[in-house]
Structure 1
Amino acid sequence: MARYHIETYGCTSNRGESRQIESALRDAGHYRVDGPEQADVAILNTCTVVEKTERNMLRRAKELESETADLIVTGCMALAQGEEFRDEAVDAQILHWDDVPTAVTNGECPTPGPGVEPVLDGVVGILPIARGCMSDCSYCITKQATGKIESPSVEENVEKARALVHAGAKELRITGQDTGVYGWDEGERKLHRLLDRICTEIDGEFRVRVGMANPKGVHGIREELAEVFARHDELYDFLHAPVQSGSDDVLGDMRRQHQVSEYLEVVEAFDDALDYWTLSTDFIVGFPTETDEDHAQSMALLRETRPEKINVTRFSKRPGTDAAEIKGLGGQTKKDRSKAMSELKMDVVGDAYAAMVGETKPDCLVVEEGTGDSVKCRDSAYRQIIVRNATEHGLEPGDFVDLEVTGQNTVYAFGTPV
């Protein structure tokens, strides 16, 4: 039996991969220890979304190499840029997620199979419904690690969701590189069918949050998907559809597949179906071909659609991508545009949370403990409400509670139990 230490960086999809690795290791009798110094093997599950992250991954790999007997590096940076670790003389095995369990202690551990135990983080169950995507974005290095989409059947994912709920999950997080194209490899987008079956066939009180879905994948099923959201209270009325730019010219250079009009049609479909919901989106600021007019179009799109959750990323070149070969914009230009959009973001999001003050939100789920004696809750649209003095109110993760919104702090609200 081996003692292992595992560290995970990046998105919920990466965390799901790590938990599947851990499940297989535990099934084979291996066990986790608190730190790399006590471990026979350390596993580093990497992210490579921006250049700063890449530097952090290399630094952490070097540290772990000196602290443990054996090191395995996996995840997006390992698969897309494995040579970076070799160039830095990091003594490690560079492996695909699926190959990690077999490699631990000379391959005595089996790879994950269909009987993998539920993936739980407190009362949150992480359910990766597929791996890979159908996009070919010019700036993205992650696709080099994940490849094209591979979709397990609806039946298989429903059974995994059922196992998570029966194991105690109160919030299911549906994850993947692009959940909107789930099933595309089999000729049919099936996200709406999967969500409908999870909500109708699984007993218990729980909520479901759908992870990132690119506008192009969602566009073809936008009405069916919005109808499923409207029909099931189990689904958080929340959609993360990253538009990345308000300019069709820039979207074309990014090879994003969708146009602004398609993104707007997705938003319109959800507006028509839902009275209260959260739109989450992403913008890349300072793409090499972005002009002042392109940036202005992005700002206008943000004002028009007013997403309640917005991620703003300043463009950085990723090695081996086509966008890295394009002459970039000056650092100050990117900084100025990022600052302008971030300020607008805070205004838009702050307005959304300010509008909640004085309202009562029923059946909010207590998801996790906060700082001090507080808990973090989510309402029906996945908006975060903090309840202070949680012990006084007898609240703990997994509880459902009606909350009166009493205040807000730009990106979250405060509430008290009714």
Structure 2
Amino acid sequence: MARYHIETYGCTSNRGESRAIESALRDAGHYRVDGPEEADVAIMNTCTVVEKTERNMLRRAKELAAETADLIITGCMALAQGNDFREEGIDAQILHWDDVPAAVTNGECPTPGPGVEPVLDGVVGILPIARGCMSNCSYCITKFATGRVDSPSVDENVEKARALVHAGAKELRITGQDTGVYGWDNGDRKLPELLDRICTEIDGEFRVRVGMANPGGVHGIRDELAAVFARHDKLYNFIHAPVQSGSDEVLEHMRRQHRVDKFREIVETFDRELDYWTLSTDFIVGYPTETDADHERSMELLREVRPEKVNVTRFSKRPGTDAADLKGLGGTLKKERSKEMSEAKMDIVAAAYDEMVGTERDVLVVEEGTGDSVKCRDEAYRQIIVQNATEHGLEPGDFARVTVTAHQTVYAFAEPVEAQPEPREPTAA
């Protein structure tokens, strides 16, 4: 598990975001250390109010970059003025705060706490559908904590989902170490059936997001799964399938249960079935056996499939894993490869959000944002911010139609579409 150090600057909103980051990291088995020198990764949650504050943020970021192996910068200044850090030559990942936990995980499966009980957080219902996974990745330590997959029945999970919706959930997040292998322990692949039944058997207006599913599990159900997505508007058109490398040799060394051609086939299937969807994937940069040619294959795959959401993680050793016994690559080389991939990623993601500008989207308001704003998700689970929410009468749980007006690389801004007045009947002369 990763050792992390986190520093938070600014308002209560930033402190709340840092608490959410830490909660997710603790749930995934990572632990906090006292200083950046002891940490595998440092997280800096920034503030931007006046010029003096900005100078202090840049100074501290430089210090942290020199003191720790990996630095992640999030918060207001990171999102509003991310280029300032790059122009200062600060080697860091610039991320939205809710992308930070995934970037820390080193490609490991998410690891929720004991049990698979659902949780309602505001209007978001979190439904773990199973525990454990079917993989044996050489770099992953979470398998020691979770074991093989253990899947409750479809009936049981549908009833849990129904209870969450009846309790007020407007967004159901289907989670697990690997949702794509749900049901494998019982001799069948049940994820498409579960999603279909949640969408058809539960009354109410809500949306469903499917959590991480490794390509090895998704590939065998890709046609059926994509057809379920195409059939149901309640499902966000979003999949998170972490490829981890564009090199088959590296995937073999990682003991991943897929190869690049299978990942491509998954993408092609969803491209065929869905006009507008989001591909989220992960890359591990600097695995000990990764050559320059392997890294270039990853870059080529990134440019080819152009995922709208990408988590880039520099490899770090986890005690007790097989990969920990391998001779690692130098930190400078890993940083260089990470920087190249992160820059390409930002260009790809920015282009995807730029294409949204001027379009209308149906969104669900998921949570409150900074100041008088709300965070929304459109049908492809892309994040859209609506400002002056009180003026527009929007709050978490509302559905709305909006026009996208601008973007900030990893999220968009929008204004609600004004309802047109009903035509009036002509009056007699």
Distance 1:49 1:348 in 2: 32
State the Cα distance separating 1:377 from its structure 2 match: 0.4
Corresponding residue pairs, total: 327
Distance 2:414 2:162 in 1: 31
* Aligned equivalent of 2:399: 400
Work out whether 1:411 is the aligned partner of 2:393: no
For each residue in 1:177-222, what CA deviation from the matched residue of structure 2 results, as whole angstroms up to 9, or x when unmatched?
0000000101111100000000000000000000000001000000
State the Cα distance separating 1:47 from its structure 2 match: 2.1
Distance 2:393 2:222 in 1: 40
For each residue in 1:108-127, what CA deviation from the matched residue of structure 2 results, as whole angstroms up to 9, or x when unmatched?
xxxx79xx6x5210000000
Residue 397 of structure 1: SS of its match in structure 2? coil
**Structural mapping, 1:19-418, within 5 Å:** 45=27, 47-48=29-30, 97-98=113-114, 119-362=119-362, 364-418=363-417
Paired residues of 1:50 and 1:318 also in contact (CA < 8 A): no
The aligned amino acid for 2:312 is: V
**Structure 1 residues 322, 54: CA separation in 2 closer, same or farther (over 3 Å shift)?**
farther
Paired residues of 1:132 and 1:149 also in contact (CA < 8 A): yes
Distance 2:212 2:378 in 1: 19
Paired residues of 1:175 and 1:210 also in contact (CA < 8 A): yes
Distance 1:11 1:278 in 2: 26
Query: Identity percentage over the alignment?
Result: 73
State the Cα distance separating 1:97 from its structure 2 match: 4.8
Paired residues of 1:10 and 1:46 also in contact (CA < 8 A): no
**Structure 1 residues 46, 219: CA separation in 2 closer, same or farther (over 3 Å shift)?**
closer
For each residue in 1:112-160, what CA deviation from the matched residue of structure 2 results, as whole angstroms up to 9, or x when unmatched?
79xx6x5210000000000000000000001110111000000000000
The aligned amino acid for 2:405 is: T
State the Cα distance separating 1:45 from its structure 2 match: 4.8
Paired residues of 1:9 and 1:45 also in contact (CA < 8 A): no
* Aligned equivalent of 2:55: none
Paired residues of 1:279 and 1:307 also in contact (CA < 8 A): yes
Q: Which runs of 5+ in 2 are unaligned?
A: 1-18, 41-111, 418-429
The aligned amino acid for 1:47 is: G
Paired residues of 1:215 and 1:243 also in contact (CA < 8 A): yes
Distance 2:22 2:247 in 1: 28
State the Cα distance separating 1:330 from its structure 2 match: 0.6
Distance 2:175 2:194 in 1: 13
Distance 2:331 2:181 in 1: 35
Residue 169 of structure 1: SS of its match in structure 2? coil
Distance 1:146 1:132 in 2: 5
* Aligned equivalent of 1:105: none
Q: Could you say what the CA RMSD is over the residues aligned between the two structures, in angstroms?
A: 2.3
Paired residues of 1:236 and 1:380 also in contact (CA < 8 A): yes
Paired residues of 1:125 and 1:169 also in contact (CA < 8 A): yes
State the Cα distance separating 1:54 from its structure 2 match: 13
Distance 2:241 2:163 in 1: 28
The aligned amino acid for 1:212 is: M
State the Cα distance separating 1:11 from its structure 2 match: 8.0
**Structure 1 residues 288, 356: CA separation in 2 closer, same or farther (over 3 Å shift)?**
same
State the Cα distance separating 1:48 from its structure 2 match: 2.9
Residue 172 of structure 1: SS of its match in structure 2? strand
Paired residues of 1:49 and 1:142 also in contact (CA < 8 A): no
TM-score, with structure 2 as normaliser: 0.73
The aligned amino acid for 2:29 is: C
The aligned amino acid for 2:236 is: Y
Residue 366 of structure 1: SS of its match in structure 2? strand
**Structure 1 residues 234, 123: CA separation in 2 closer, same or farther (over 3 Å shift)?**
same
For each residue in 1:40-91, what CA deviation from the matched residue of structure 2 results, as whole angstroms up to 9, or x when unmatched?
xxxx75623999999679xxxxxxxxxxxxxxxxxxxxxxxxxxxxxxxxxx
Distance 1:403 1:417 in 2: 4
Distance 1:382 1:255 in 2: 30
Distance 2:36 2:277 in 1: 32
Distance 1:352 1:49 in 2: 34
The aligned amino acid for 2:268 is: E
Distance 1:256 1:314 in 2: 17
Distance 2:334 2:31 in 1: 17
Distance 2:379 2:31 in 1: 30
For each residue in 1:363-414, what CA deviation from the matched residue of structure 2 results, as whole angstroms up to 9, or x when unmatched?
x100000001000000000000000000110000000000100000000000
For each residue in 1:313-364, what CA deviation from the matched residue of structure 2 results, as whole angstroms up to 9, or x when unmatched?
00000000000001010110000000000000000000000000000012x1
Residue 245 of structure 1: SS of its match in structure 2? coil
Distance 2:215 2:412 in 1: 28
**Structure 1 residues 53, 319: CA separation in 2 closer, same or farther (over 3 Å shift)?**
farther
Distance 2:366 2:274 in 1: 23
TM-score, with structure 1 as normaliser: 0.75
Paired residues of 1:403 and 1:416 also in contact (CA < 8 A): yes
Residue 355 of structure 1: SS of its match in structure 2? helix
Residue 312 of structure 1: SS of its match in structure 2? strand
The aligned amino acid for 2:412 is: A
Distance 1:406 1:213 in 2: 32
Distance 1:56 1:342 in 2: 21
